[in-house]
Structure 1
Amino acid sequence: MQDIPVETLLETAKPAQDVLIELFELDLTHIGGDLFRFHDGMNEMHTAIIWQGHTYEPYPMKAQGFEHNGQGTSNRPTLTAANLTGLITGLSQDFDDLVGAIVTRRQMYSKFLDADNFIEGNTKADPTQELVARYVVERMTALEADFATFELALPCESDGAQLPARIIIADTCNWIYRSSECSYTGGPVADEFDKPTSDSKCDKCGKRLASCKLRFGANNPLPFGGFPSAAKMSR
């Protein structure tokens, strides 16, 4: 879960909060397309919103169903965008109804927006004060002459996402020993049973978390290719 920036958290706790801005990015680069940035509105100068130096073009859209739930399967929010120019129709035809496209939702209070959004600038501009969530287009649920609606899902719950995936195993590392994913390049340490050895011919990883700690240290970041917390989820 993303940590909430301190200033954003303080603003959220106020009885009267600043306007919460919602920006969206549609990323098709991994399937041969472009990256689009949109916002359903404009800044006080009636031009496109600028955030972190990037331009979010005014484009009519409506997002619904975004909720934070730590229990069970997450909800499937929807994003409805105008299709008056035929933009969505064209993209849908070229990219299989946009299934697998990555949608990034960025939220921040207007007081933290880039100075370029204000006539007199903004001394409170802070590009770190944002909440970011990423989703994958699961399916198109409607395509009309004037609008299109898409169902979104978290990347780990998407059926149609074109993202790398691997089987979740709780106690066994999937990486090949000394591969780029494993990243260990040191001398021989232990055999497959975690018994110490100085013989390179006997040096084999036991594929356990303990095996990883022997090579990288118990208190250091570990490139362990398993999912230790998965065992807790089945209890």
Structure 2
Amino acid sequence: MIPKKMQIDITKIEQGAIVNLYDLDLSKIVGNKTIIRFHNGVNELRRPITWQGNIYKPYPIKAQGFERSGQGASNRPTLTASNTGGLLNGLIANYEGMIGAIVTRHEVLVKYLDAVNFENGNKYADPYCEVVSNYVIEQVKQQTSQFVTLELALPCETDGARIPARIIIADTCSWIYRSANCGYTGGAVADEFDQPTNDITRDKCSGCVNGCKLRHGEHGILPFGGFPTAARIK
């Protein structure tokens, strides 16, 4: 919902400048509260913009596809950001492409920004006067040493789901040995190198298809937790 004051402002012939501020919330995939705030610019004092008491650091970004439409399929906006220093490469590598992370876009008229952004303060400062849009990262659309492009989707379209639900690993089972997913409950079979053993303390699955066959049979139904055919896709 657009605040009433902003509704009045944006209908004027001469509108004030609007800044777009972004929150990248990694909390759900990192496990603790981790929010990165950024904006493609600085304030009047040539310092990071402050909005609602939060600091939005200047970072080279290009946002596209955020246009609103009441017809047809919803858009898939993208954020293209500089990859200088490898910051995004590190986040993508460590947090599974950041898939599912929440991106919040704040549209704010400059006239309502916090007073600390201006040399002489701001009598119009209003932390509640903004338009907020929430998205989730759908995929890493492009990744190079210079920049990264992230494709976003509306939360209602993903319903918090990830496809695939697990990381695709070709030759390694992701199940815990003897867990419900593994399904094996018998005696000792082999060690972690698939060498036969009768010692239950040395009984460990190698995590490979061969280890699964040793326990469930050469021609049995294997509950293997990997994706063997993925290695054949080029």
Partner of residue 142, structure 1: 142
Deviation sequence 1:71-102 (CA, Å, 0-9, x none):
33201010111100111000000111111110
The answer to whether the aligner puts 1:72 opposite 2:61 as a matched pair is: no
Q: Which of 1 and 2 has greater Rg?
A: 2
> In structure 1, what is the Cα distance between the partners aligned to 2:102 and 2:153?
10
Q: CA deviation at 1:9?
A: 0.7
Deviation sequence 1:151-197 (CA, Å, 0-9, x none):
100011128746xxxxxxxxxxxxxxxxxxxxxxxxxxxxxxxxxxx
CA contact (8 A) 1:106 1:130 kept: yes
> In structure 2, what is the Cα distance between the partners aligned to 1:139 and 1:158?
12
**Residue identity in the other structure for 2:92:** S
Partner of residue 203, structure 2: none
Q: CA deviation at 1:68?
A: 1.6
**Residue identity in the other structure for 2:102:** I
Partner of residue 190, structure 2: none
TM-score, length-scaled by structure 1: 0.66
> In structure 2, what is the Cα distance between the partners aligned to 1:66 and 1:59?
19
Partner of residue 117, structure 1: 117
SS in 2 for 1:86: helix
SS in 1 for 2:88: helix
Deviation sequence 1:25-79 (CA, Å, 0-9, x none):
1000011162100000000100000000000000000100012222332010101
Partner of residue 53, structure 1: 53
The answer to whether the aligner puts 1:13 opposite 2:30 as a matched pair is: no
Matching of residues 199-218 of structure 1 within 5 Å = none
Q: CA deviation at 1:117?
A: 0.2
Consecutive unaligned residues of structure 2, counting only runs of 5 or more, are 163-234
**Residue identity in the other structure for 1:103:** V
Partner of residue 177, structure 2: none
Moved >4 Å (runs of 4+): 159-162
> In structure 2, what is the Cα distance between the partners aligned to 1:139 and 1:18?
34
The answer to whether the aligner puts 1:100 opposite 2:135 as a matched pair is: no
> In structure 2, what is the Cα distance between the partners aligned to 1:160 and 1:142?
22
CA contact (8 A) 2:105 2:132 kept: yes
Partner of residue 210, structure 2: none
**Residue identity in the other structure for 1:144:** T
> In structure 1, what is the Cα distance between the partners aligned to 2:160 and 2:77?
15
> In structure 2, what is the Cα distance between the partners aligned to 1:98 and 1:31?
7
Aligned residues: CA RMSD: 1.3
> In structure 2, what is the Cα distance between the partners aligned to 1:155 and 1:82?
25
> In structure 2, what is the Cα distance between the partners aligned to 1:117 and 1:13?
25
SS in 1 for 2:23: strand
Closer, same or farther in 2 for the Cα pair 1:120/1:155, shift >3 Å?
Answer: same
CA contact (8 A) 1:104 1:135 kept: yes
Partner of residue 128, structure 2: 128
SS in 2 for 1:93: helix
Quick one: percent identity of the two aligned structures?
50
TM-score, length-scaled by structure 2: 0.66
Q: CA deviation at 1:4?
A: 1.1
Greater shift in the superposed pair: 109-118 or 93-102: 93-102
SS in 2 for 1:85: helix
Partner of residue 4, structure 1: 2
**Residue identity in the other structure for 1:8:** M
Partner of residue 81, structure 2: 81
